[in-house]
């Protein structure tokens, strides 16, 4: 959550004239509903954030970052739900392969938890790097927010696809 803390600190220095955003996930939801391939689904992240920004006349950096953060939270909820579904499947798989586990095979639940923890660590570092690349520039919080949106959406799509297969 270092990136979120960084974004919060960046937004504190934003102008007091920042507008309240009116975020709706509808553009992203519509894109996902219309997508018939994995490639088309990967093109959907950011649609709602872009519509949110477009609805704000003269959107400042803080509003642009807030729109991206709102969509990120929407993707995070999807990711958490897909992770929970995947964990239930992993638990069933561990029961199914109890004999192999007793012989020392790795537990799918452990592997899934390790993968998600590694993703969390990597995503924070990845997006913090995006912000640091723009140190001293006004768009640093937007870059970090868009990065976080993208990596969270990608992880959500991965877990959704994996949990849909069984």
Out of 1.20.1270.180, 3.40.50.1970, 1.10.150.120, 1.10.3720.10, which CATH number does the structure's domain 61-166 have? 1.20.1270.180
The predicted-structure confidence for 123-152, as pLDDT tens digits, reads as follows 999 999 999 999 999 889 999 999 999 999
Give percent of the chain above pLDDT 70: 88
Write down the pTM of the prediction.
Answer: 0.85
The predicted-structure confidence for 75-95, as pLDDT tens digits, reads as follows 999 999 999 999 999 999 989
pLDDT classification of 13: cutoffs 50, 70, 90: very low
As a three-state string, the secondary structure of the chain is CHHHHHHHHHHHCCCCCCCCCCCCCHHHHHHHHHCCCHHHHHCCCCHHHHHHHHCCCCCCHHHHHHHHHHHHHHHHHHHHHHHHHHHHHHHHHHHHCHHHHHCCCCCHHHHHHHHHHHHHHHHHHHHHHHHHHCCCCCCHHHHHHHHHHHHHHHHHHHHHHHHHCC
pLDDT classification of 2: cutoffs 50, 70, 90: low
Say whether pLDDT at 15 is over 50: no
């Amino acid at each position: 959550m270092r990136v979120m803390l960084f974004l919060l600190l960046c937004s504190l220095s934003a102008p007091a004239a920042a507008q309240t955003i009116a975020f709706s996930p509808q553009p992203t939801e519509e894109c996902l509903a219309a997508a018939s391939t994995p490639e088309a689904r990967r093109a959907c992240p950011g649609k709602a954030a872009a519509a949110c920004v477009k609805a704000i006349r003269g959107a400042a950096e803080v509003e642009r970052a807030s729109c991206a953060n709102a969509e990120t939270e929407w993707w995070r909820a999807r990711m958490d739900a897909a992770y929970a579904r995947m964990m239930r499947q992993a638990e069933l798989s561990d029961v199914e392969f109890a004999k192999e586990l007793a012989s020392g095979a790795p537990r799918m639940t452990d592997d899934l938890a390790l993968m998600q923890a590694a993703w969390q660590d990597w995503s924070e570092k990845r997006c913090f790097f995006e912000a640091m690349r723009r140190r001293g520039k006004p768009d640093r919080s937007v870059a970090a927010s868009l990065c976080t949106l993208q990596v969270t959406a990608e992880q959500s799509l991965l877990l959704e696809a994996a949990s849909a297969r069984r």
